[in-house]
Structure 1
Amino acid sequence: MPLPLGLADVTNPSMVPTLVPGDRMVLRYRARIRRGDVVVVRHPFRHDLLIVKRAAERRDEGWWVLGDNPYVPNDSREFGVVPDELVVARAVLRLRGPGDVQRSPLAIARWLLGAVRPLSSRSRRLRAR
């Protein structure tokens, strides 16, 4: 049986500041989802499109998901509740690429300290919208 882990690239700014375009995520498939988790879901109107959002609230029909960036409205405010069968995975780690890191030892040390960050439900407080 294959491990229930995978990698995904972030290409959209909807989760800024938690995730920025160019970040990678380590995903855990078939993971239990809790309020506050960062999740990958299939878009309810375009099942071929995977999107990254925060599971904000559990409802009878599924999950109410929101992006961390209030200026990108492509979330449950636009398309409603995401049914459970469209939840693909929970993001467990953020991997930040080196980007434009300068080659000084201090710059490299700063990048190393922030390059890998857990994405738990306790890593960020939810804000009401």
Structure 2
Amino acid sequence: MPERVEERGPERERAEGTGQAGGRGGLLSAFGLAEVYNPSMVPTLRPGDQLVVQYGATVRPGDVVVLRHPFRQDLLIVKRAVRRDEGGWWVQGDNPYVRNDSREFGAVPDELVIARAWARVRPPRGIQRSPRALLSWAVSAVRPVRADRSLSRRLRAR
């Protein structure tokens, strides 16, 4: 199954030819939302999670990024930037069973990395009936996506 991310924000407008990323001016135009559809970043991200992303942000090793697939540039994917290589960023998913990453297509040129994820918003699963269940969801729903806290054990061990 091909991996994809649905994007809502300035980069989508630029891709559709209606403006440039950040073209509206102001700080908010540099941010957007992306929805995760595939399990390549499990356990950090699950299908259905929303990402708050910043377009054009500086990427560091360990960051979760949204990028254009090198072979299908109309396809957006979410990966972890592992390291810099000669050809760009080596990106990998946190799920060891999904190989749609640099192990398959090599380093990704800088111009294909379009955004850095800042936070994950997990939608509620099912109907939250009690105040306690709603509070529990609210506490766990929004988490920062940071390199020092969300690296999987597999990547930390390298």
* Structure 1 and Structure 2 fold alike (TM over 0.5): yes
Task: State the alpha-carbon separation in 2 of the partners of residues 101 and 63 from structure 1.
Answer: 40
Among candidates 121, 131, 139, match of residue 113 of structure 1: 139
Q: State the match for 1:17 in structure 2.
A: 43
Q: State the match for 2:91 in structure 1.
A: 65
CA contact (8 A) 1:57 1:64 kept: yes
User: Where in structure 1 do 4 or more consecutive aligned residues deviate above 4 Å?
Assistant: none
Among candidates 101, 104, 123, match of residue 75 of structure 1: 101
Deviation at 1:128? Answer: 5.3
Q: RMSD value over aligned CA atoms? A: 1.4
**Aligned-partner residue type, residue 97 of structure 2:** Y
Number of paired residues?
129
Task: State the alpha-carbon separation in 2 of the partners of residues 72 and 105 from structure 1.
Answer: 37
* Matched ranges for 1:65-104 at <5 A: 65-104=91-130
Deviation at 1:120? Answer: 1.3
Q: State the match for 1:45 in structure 2.
A: 71
CA contact (8 A) 1:24 1:94 kept: yes
Task: State the alpha-carbon separation in 2 of the partners of residues 73 and 128 from structure 1.
Answer: 18
Percent identical pairs in the alignment equals 63
Task: State the alpha-carbon separation in 1 of the partners of residues 98 and 72 from structure 2.
Answer: 17
Task: State the alpha-carbon separation in 2 of the partners of residues 32 and 99 from structure 1.
Answer: 33
Deviation at 1:127? Answer: 3.7
Deviation at 1:121? Answer: 1.4
TM-score, normalised to structure 1's length? 0.94
Any stretches of 5+ residues in structure 1 without a counterpart? none
Computing the radius of gyration from Cα coordinates, the structure with the larger value is 2
More strand by share: 1
Task: State the alpha-carbon separation in 2 of the partners of residues 52 and 128 from structure 1.
Answer: 21
Instruction: State the secondary structure of the residue aligned to 2:146.
Output: coil
TM-score, normalised to structure 2's length? 0.77
CA contact (8 A) 1:53 1:67 kept: yes
